[in-house]
Structure 1
């Protein structure tokens, strides 16, 4: 079979978007492997977030390879995310006009190895670094052959990466004792497999390529503009459309669609889009066969904007001491509740900002409640929260800067003060959502 000898800028963009879907789809699987260096079960989440940050940077225009590298480096989380960002940086430094051929790909991996070696002072064998080095060496050897092709070089790199991944338990006692391979290495293999799938033009992830299956993408983004017009545009393009308003002209948007490209183009044409995230949803054979999900989400929140925002996303808001009759499939956002939560699945949220982060990834149409809860818990856990020492705009901005020193791409501020979110955004150079909530001590979340 004949495959393209190069990938152009659009192909590179497609690879990155495909990788987001693959990593997101297998996030829980990668998280479960995470036992080294700390068993904190976040490697899959970190790598997914890093690729999401890379794809979001494409919104700012410019060279595709440079934008992906910049977004990944800025948004990198954890060691695994950092290594992934250096792979994209290697691509950016090896390509011209975002075009990748076999030679460019091989040089990209070699460059990534050099970048990672400089970034990590004490590299440990049996980790993602080992897998990356094996892939780079195999790609270099394959590229040296007279008949080398992009497809052949990428295939050789994947074969070597898979072999290196299988051997990681023999190199790290922590992996051997747990009976798992390295989580970061597994994520890197998925990234490379996504590239091969883009070259071959195959379907998203294993098990979803049956001809009769229908694959949907979950599209989530923050929108600023004419919300009524956007809703009219998006309604015919999918289902599970949720528009959670922050103000009259800004909202968090969630939709499931088989026309994700059209959804994204429509949104960009209608206003400003930020914090874009994509996730491949499980396939189903017949759209008409989908069964409605009978599930409720409960949360405690003060009256006003927070309650309005949660209710617009389908949440049942209760007072902190109100009894909850949650059933097994129901979800309870534990935000200051002082009563029994019943039999519901609890999503710990130590702050209102964390609760908003959790509800932003809620999938009302996903019947797998366990997967939904896992994603919401991950989002709540990822939200870093702080409280300014004084209730003044200056103190709030200073606290935001302290939080952003550890990274972040969006700031949520809940305050009794009437804050100018555009002015704060200009100070911080990130997206800011500020909600005026009466009688509340200012709470700042960064994600």
Structure 2
């Protein structure tokens, strides 16, 4: 075999082009190959889906998510010519919007890793793949509240580690090393998760990821990799061989299960009778395949394990044999939801974050000068591990992200409701009336009513000249706003007087409590001056002032 400078490999089978870089056309071929490969593997992957829930849909979810990604890329390509960076960005957007199930969300984060590392790049080589896998590993891990070994995350981590440790920046070498490491890690997953060991399968999500990486290797090298799913005969741990008794007499201490082939209706009828003489809860069920080629599932509760297996040997060829002892006490499986209720709040200042944390909320902090990411919000909702979640957006700028996260979390089985809070002061008012002892629906109504009853104001610094309802402002002016409308303009040096005027304006319609949250740019003494002003003008009004640290608003104000 000879490798020449333009990355064309000459082999006995003919000429196979080996890519030196991935451009937009190669990304498209990879996406198409992924969809085709997942379609071919979907039923197999669904069949081995036993963790965390044996719902048999991981392959279907991955295929649905990848199809959505490909459709987004096709639309983007039709609208304008795209480079590799734009192509993977379109894939990531499509996957996130169409993600189905936990495996789909993790796939969207893998594609997001590529998009972040290849932004603006016409093409990507081995170094680009290396950085993208490392970033994808970090994003996918962050998207899962309680990562467990032996899952798709373990397989992705192995692929990223292999890429990071690969010598040189040759694209084919990095891709092949990553796909091989992923396959090796997948084979080890039954040793890491007892549910997989008991079923004799590898992790379904990890298998799907190996399919995607093998598809990438095929596009880069021109050589297809076949990795059939087979039974995994691994030593089972003691806890794998205990089970709760689902029925039958307490006289029998063992559950025996196996698959049987090479048999027929006459022999399986005899087997059924022999097992009934040995124990109870007997079932010998065919898959419906014509005589002589069928597969039977055999199940019995008994004490004589050897006799149950020997009966199967006489009836055909037993395999995937499992013998489980019924335990007197079996620890309950970990629950997905460990509490009934939680509140998730979006904030943009550390001081505000501490306020919400102090009231028991799960906090999602928006990074400075960066958009809120749907995956980060979804991770916080899922990570709360609560069956019912109330989401406080505390801004009108996050509506699209909030809607997407709520829809995905609801589809995944959580009850998530967003209370319309346009400011942190409204969020605090809603949180103050939150009562976990109430029915979820009633609690949401009470929180929404408290938020709506809180008038919101803020002081901002004008960034440019503009015409407002109360006149023209210049850059640096202090703008006082109530419910999103400018109601006063003060010079840059008059933040304190602007705060007092804003309080007077908001209290004109009545109120008993003023909440002031000081931003990062608030001058010293504002809270004290506002307190002194209210003591003289509104002695019946209570003031609660907190350091918020928000970067944009000099002051947030709420009146109740």
Structure 1 length-normalised TM: 0.45
Structure 2 length-normalised TM: 0.36
Higher relative contact order (CA 8 A, sep 6+): 1
Q: Give the structure with higher Rg (CA).
A: 2
